[in-house]
Amino acid sequence: MITRRQFLLGAAGAVSALGAAADRPRSLNGNAKRRVVVVGGGYGGVTAARYLKLADPRLEVVLIHRDREYLSCPGSNEVIAGMQPAVRLVRRYEQLTRRYGVRTLYGEATGLDADRRIVTLGDRSSLPFDRAILSPGVAFRWSAWEGYGEEASRRCPHAWQAGAQTELLRKQLRSLRPGGTVMIVAPPNPYRCPPGPYERAGLMAFYLKRHNPRAKVLILDTKTQFSKQALFLHGWNELYPGMVEWIPASSEGEVERIDADRRIVYSEFGEHRADVLNVIPPQKAGSIAEVAGLTDKSGWCPVDPRSFASTLAPDIHIIGDACIAAPMPKSAFAANSHAKVCAHAVAALLAGRDPGPPSLINHCYSFLAPEYAISITGVYEYSPGEGGLVAAATGETPMDADRKTEARQARAWQKNFQADVFG
Amino acid sequence: MLLLAGVGFPAYAASDDEQRPRPGAEMLARPCFACHSDREPSVIPKLRGGPETRFIARMREFRDRRTDSVMHRIAKGYRDEDYQQLARYFRQLDQAPPR
């Protein structure tokens, strides 16, 4: 086991290596000793690291992640509803290092110099690279809704990044007063996991139906429509009649202010009180992307989807929730698909080859109960005319399809998808 | 003239679309592994091995027959030439160790 310090001294030469990357000759005769740094050990980053090694085992691939463990957002709604223990969300990097030879570096990437090709860590050590892949996920726009900042999220959790927030919301749901109201405030587009708030509503109702049957789940939405809408509305009505209510922006207007102490949401046309308040705030690209100047005025990262290279810094690639890859939704599955295209392109570009056209899929299940799931699917390709991705095919679970079959496939999918990412 | 241009444009766009270069076999195959594990035993079938003709026939069947299957939605996103590339790739994988 190599320690972080040994690693930095050995591989990067610590501070003495500052600037070395910029001087490194760009040979065209193979990828030997070319270093690719991957920032962010979630679904996108881990897939990218693994597929880089599959594409070219000679590449030196370094994965930087804040902690030795990663807590999965997919599956966290099931934990909140008590269907799965929290331990099921823990992911580790052993397979990645042992089987594929990816080096891991635990620490926070706090800065990135795209011109000099250096990433800086929280302890001020730095690491030069030939190319970097950022998979930083999302950050919250804390100032967007008055009264809802990071501090307020400790009372009214967002639970939109897994961990302590997931646990807090799970506990609050369990201690909801008999006949009380849970309110989910759903964010404006674009955001991580478009069906997520609605899956959460259904699974909360699943829990409450058994333990607190007079309770209600209210979704106060800042949108007028949502992902898999007809399937969700149909399912809630079938499984939890009268328990789940969706209040669209068309009847409420904008969220204006949130009183986290009294758990009241003030909208343009009214106010809503809750006993448990789950606020999912508006989002933007993870902070390293913003710090490195890779976001545009939307707050997300513009990329060329043939390589996921930033249109603002060609040696830096951004994948996953942080990048703009419309019409693909922001999901772990999409991040996995971005990562494969990106890893292939990075290996090709470092070897002086044209990566060729990309091919991507998104496929996501949402549970409404342990034996009831629905799904949404899209196949995407590059359109030179549009200069971006287009959907070659899309679809959802047909309204008359068997939800139990979907649930069985969803379980198999969860397992296989984890294996493709974390090994 | 104007009328001709108006009629001509969609046809041109369609042929432009048809002429889009297709992704390579490995690029097409990689997203499939997110569900079709190469290692895990599963109700979702493995893709490696098997005759090419069977894979191609199965994909056409998924595409053309409306079913509840997820594969109906996915198969529609590819062309016949993609099925052929994928079939060849998955058959050849049979010789390689699990990834």
Q: How far is CA A130 from CA A58, A106, A126, A215, in A?
A: 14, 20, 14, 55
**Dmax over Cα atoms in chain A, in whole Å?**
69
Average pLDDT, chain B: 81
Residue from the list A360, A391, A416 with its beta carbon closest to the beta carbon of B31: A360
Confidence check: pLDDT of B4 > 50 = no
pLDDT of B38-84, one tens digit each? 877 889 999 988 899 999 999 999 999 877 789 999 999 999 999 99
10 Å CB burial of residue A354 (0-12, 13-18, 19+) is: exposed
Residue from the list A361, A402, A417 with its beta carbon closest to the beta carbon of B68: A402
Task: Report how far residue B76's alpha carbon sits from residue B79's, in angstroms, rounded to the nearest whole number.
Answer: 8
Residues of chain A positioned with their CB less than 8 A from the CB of B80? none
Cβ neighbors of A138 (< 8 A, separation 6 or more) are: A160, A161, A191, A192, A283, A284, A285, A286, A321, A322, A330
Confidence check: pLDDT of A62 > 80 = yes
Report the pLDDT value the prediction gives residue B69, as an integer from 0 to 100.
83
Tokens of B53: 């003709």
Mean pLDDT of A335-354: 97
> With an 8 Å Cβ cutoff, are A361 and B72 in contact?
no
Rounded to two decimals, the ipTM of the complex is 0.89
Mean pLDDT of B88-97: 82
Report the pLDDT value the prediction gives residue B49, as an integer from 0 to 100.
83
Sign of CA dihedral A134, A136, A138, A140: negative
Task: Report how far residue A308's alpha carbon sits from residue A164's, in angstroms, rounded to the nearest whole number.
Answer: 32
Q: By percentage, how much of chain A surpasses pLDDT 90?
A: 90
10 Å CB burial of residue A365 (0-12, 13-18, 19+) is: buried
Cβ neighbors of A146 (< 8 A, separation 6 or more) are: A256, A257, A258
User: pLDDT higher for A411 or A21?
Assistant: A411
Confidence check: pLDDT of A166 > 70 = yes
Q: How far is CA A93 from CA A6, A12, A54, A353, B13, in A?
A: 19, 21, 16, 30, 47
8-state DSSP, A423: -
C-alpha distance from A189 to closest chain B C-alpha (Å) = 25
Could you give the angle at the alpha carbon of A115 between the alpha carbons of A123 and A122, nearest 5°?
Answer: 10
> With an 8 Å Cβ cutoff, are A358 and B78 in contact?
no
CB A142 within 8 A of CB A150: yes
Report the pLDDT value the prediction gives residue A12, as an integer from 0 to 100.
37
C-alpha distance from B79 to closest chain A C-alpha (Å) = 10
If you search the block for the tokens 């570009």, which residue do you land on?
A: A349
Report the pLDDT value the prediction gives residue A6, as an integer from 0 to 100.
38
> With an 8 Å Cβ cutoff, are A419 and B39 in contact?
yes
pLDDT of A225-248, one tens digit each? 999 999 999 999 999 999 999 999
A interface mutation test: which of B73, B81, B86, B99 has the most A CBs within 10 A?
Answer: B73
Helix (H) or strand (E) holding B27: helix B25-29
Average pLDDT, chain A: 92
CA dihedral defined by A185, A187, A192, A193, rounded to 10 degrees?
A: 60
Task: Report how far residue A134's alpha carbon sits from residue A322's, in angstroms, rounded to the nearest whole number.
Answer: 9
Mean pLDDT of B12-34: 79
CB A77 within 8 A of CB A52: no
Report the pLDDT value the prediction gives residue A78, as an integer from 0 to 100.
98
C-alpha distance from A337 to closest chain B C-alpha (Å) = 6
Confidence check: pLDDT of A24 > 50 = no
If you search the block for the tokens 């069985």, which residue do you land on?
A: A408
Report the pLDDT value the prediction gives residue A233, as an integer from 0 to 100.
98
> With an 8 Å Cβ cutoff, are A358 and B34 in contact?
no
Give the strand order in the sheet containing A126-128: A109-113, A118-121, A126-128
Residue from the list B24, B36, B99 with its beta carbon closest to the beta carbon of A356: B24
Confidence check: pLDDT of B1 > 80 = no
Report the pLDDT value the prediction gives residue A33, as an integer from 0 to 100.
84
Q: What is the CA radius of gyration of chain A?
A: 22
SS3 A353: coil
* pLDDT category of residue A351 using cuts at 50, 70 and 90: very high
Residue A34 burial (CB count, 10 A): 21
Report the pLDDT value the prediction gives residue B10, as an integer from 0 to 100.
38
CB contacts under 8 A, B 27-66 vs A, are: 27-28, 30-37, 39-40, 42-44
Report the pLDDT value the prediction gives residue B48, as an integer from 0 to 100.
87
Q: Residue A349: name the closest of A59, A49, A24 by CA.
A: A59
* pLDDT category of residue A320 using cuts at 50, 70 and 90: very high
User: In terms of C-beta distances under 8 Å and separation of at least 24 residues, what long-range contacts does A56-59 make, across chains too?
Assistant: A56/A31, A56/A347, A56/A350, A56/A351, A57/A101, A58/A30, A58/A31, A58/A32, A58/A33, A58/A34, A59/A31, A59/A34, A59/A35, A59/A347, A59/A350
Confidence check: pLDDT of A396 > 90 = yes
Task: Report how far residue A43's alpha carbon sits from residue A342's, in angstroms, rounded to the nearest whole number.
Answer: 13
pTM: 0.91
* Beta strand pairing call for A309-310 and A60-65: unpaired
Question: Does any CB of chain A come closer than 8 Å to the CB of residue B5?
Answer: no
C-alpha distance from B55 to closest chain A C-alpha (Å) = 19
* Beta strand pairing call for A372-383 and A103-106: unpaired
Mean pLDDT of A246-275: 93
* pLDDT category of residue A358 using cuts at 50, 70 and 90: very high
Phi, psi of A239 (to 5 degrees): -90, -35
Report the pLDDT value the prediction gives residue A32, as an integer from 0 to 100.
58
